[in-house]
Amino acid sequence: VLGVLLGAVNINLGSLSAVSIFPILILMLLTENFIEVQTGKSRHEATLVMLQTIVMAIIGAVILKTNWVQKLVLLNPEISLLVIALFDIYVGKYVGLRALEMWKFRKLMK
């Protein structure tokens, strides 16, 4: 991917070099996740995971494009971080242990 973006500059293909690398990286991660689920489970379940991810990405993009959310995040980042942290604790979808589990098993972690 990086090679294609750098090569686009050398062959004067400016429109390709103007593409941000982050959407490309996100698509690569989504593809990796899709293949990982497909190898462990069925193609149907992998497709459902992919569709859920795309729907959540679209919803997130629509929310983040609103001016008041952008102003809130830029002017009050501490409020944004606090809200995200509280939401993560409420939902409990950490990659690692949840906060309560870390407190409960703190002696074992030492």
Q: Please give the tally of structural domains in the chain.
A: 2
| Residue the block writes with tokens 């859920």 | 52
Q: Do 52 and 91 reside in the same domain of the chain?
A: no
Q: Do 10 and 45 reside in the same domain of the chain?
A: yes
- Host domain of residue 27: 1-65
Q: Do 48 and 14 reside in the same domain of the chain?
A: yes
Q: Do 60 and 71 reside in the same domain of the chain?
A: no
Q: Do 71 and 60 reside in the same domain of the chain?
A: no
pTM of the model: 0.49
Q: Do 53 and 97 reside in the same domain of the chain?
A: no
Q: Do 12 and 51 reside in the same domain of the chain?
A: yes
pLDDT attached to residue 75: 92
Instruction: Round to whole Å and give the CA distance between 92 and 87.
Output: 8
Instruction: Round to whole Å and give the CA distance between 3 and 21.
Output: 11
Average pLDDT, the chain: 77
pLDDT attached to residue 44: 83
Each residue's pLDDT tens digit, 28-79: 887 787 788 778 877 788 788 778 878 888 888 888 889 998 898 889 989 9
